[in-house]
Amino acid sequence: MFETARKYLKGDPILWGVIIGLSIFSLLAVYSATGTLAYRYQGGNTSYYIIKHATILFIGLLIIFVTHLVPHKVFSRLSQLFLIISIPLLIITLILGTSINQATRWLTIPGLGFTFQTSDFAKLALVMYVARLLSMKQDTIKEYHSAFLPVIIPVVIICGLIMPANLSTALMLFTACFILMFIGRINFRYMFLFSLAVIVIIAVVIFMTVKSDWGGRWQTWRHRIESFVDHENTDNFQVNQSKIAIVSGGLVKLRPGKSVQRNYLPHPYSDFIFAIIIEEYGLLGGILILSLYLYLLFRAGVIVRKSTRTFPAFLAMGLAILIVMQAMINMAVAVNLLPVTGQPLPMVSWGGTSMLFTCVALGIILSVSRGIDQPAEEIQTEEVDNEND
């Protein structure tokens, strides 16, 4: 069986193991967390949501399989097209997108009723594009006009378009790109000065959010900041229920499907699924999930160390940082280390476009690891192709 799997599943086998592990946790946790939804909206049909989620997960795994067979040099070319497409998509979403909870993050496909978050596509496109630019500009990487500006401008544009409807995603994406720029040897002085400017802007935004009486997203941000700062606030229903779930989990438990807080937590199958996992599997279950994500980042580092080319190295590390950072934010929200952000747990939470684009990112990382094992003559041919791009 293992030989058959190795024949068809190329790339890092340990990374494949991490993906399978997260997928198993996803099925178990989502099945448990959607039990209340099933009784409320599906007449007690508990299989409805798990079948729907399992279908999305299966499609995601197929995407990983197909993507990991694509040579990574193809993603260098696609990054330009994806970035160009993502900008008008984000603008259209801000103007004509579907608004949910005062956030216009979704585009609805006419006639199909299918919605997707354009920011998920933009995140992938931006990291791919930044990796491409960093690899192309290594000879002049310390210069301001030829390296720093060409990289930071698309980062500011994409993050700026995401920010009005999804501040947490914009900040997360900006941070991931900044880390990638640091790894890519961009001049630290330019990065430091620019980060100071960003910190000042964020401080001003937070001050305006807390002090103003504006409605819309400003009111949502203000409420989240005030709830997070005021630890004695009993109105912070989501976080309080999450804490109860975590405390109920204890150190070691094995009671899948026996969560009580799923009946009280808003979105226990997405934003607060980590709390449900701890409630049902104990602290050790939460540590296991955390370890899987950290090991994913570690394996990406191993892939980078083995890689002899800059673009695949930056691409794999950038995508791994983005996935793991999103996971850390989701878990930090569940244990009240960060304000509520609405970030799903990658490869575990219920979600359509978030799950599928995470699978694309994982497939690309596996594609890079598969390329490391290519014969020498294929690598030389690929390098010639990259020079011609």
pLDDT at 216: 55
In this predicted structure, which of 205-219, 276-290, 316-330 has the lowest mean pLDDT? 205-219
> Nearest 10 degrees: CA dihedral of 84, 87, 88, 91?
180
- Average pLDDT for 84-104: 81
- Average pLDDT for 18-26: 94
d(CA 386, CA 311): 10
Split at pLDDT 50, 70, 90, the class of 387 is: very low
- Give the distance, in angstroms, between the CA of residue 351 and the centroid of all CA atoms in the same chain: 12
Split at pLDDT 50, 70, 90, the class of 380 is: very low
What is the DSSP code (8-state) at residue 337? S
- Give the distance, in angstroms, between the CA of residue 170 and the centroid of all CA atoms in the same chain: 11
- Average pLDDT for 54-66: 95
pLDDT at 221: 58
Most confident of 128-132, 191-195, 280-284: 128-132
In this predicted structure, which of 42-51, 210-219, 249-258, 274-283 has the lowest mean pLDDT? 210-219
109 burial class (0-12, 13-18, 19+ CB within 10 angstroms)? exposed
Most confident of 102-116, 201-215, 218-232, 354-368: 354-368
- Give the distance, in angstroms, between the CA of residue 272 and the centroid of all CA atoms in the same chain: 15
d(CA 170, CA 176): 10
Alpha helix positions (H), 253-352:
273-306, 310-334
pLDDT at 117: 87
- Average pLDDT for 318-342: 91
Q: Is residue 386 over pLDDT 50?
A: no
d(CA 125, CA 133): 12
pLDDT at 95: 86
The per-residue pLDDT for range 260-284, each reduced to its tens digit, is 888 888 888 888 999 999 999 999 9
Split at pLDDT 50, 70, 90, the class of 230 is: low
CB–CB of 40/337 below 8 Å? Answer: no
pLDDT at 371: 84
Q: Is residue 378 over pLDDT 50?
A: no
Annotated domain spans of the chain: 13-388
207 burial class (0-12, 13-18, 19+ CB within 10 angstroms)? exposed
Split at pLDDT 50, 70, 90, the class of 69 is: very high
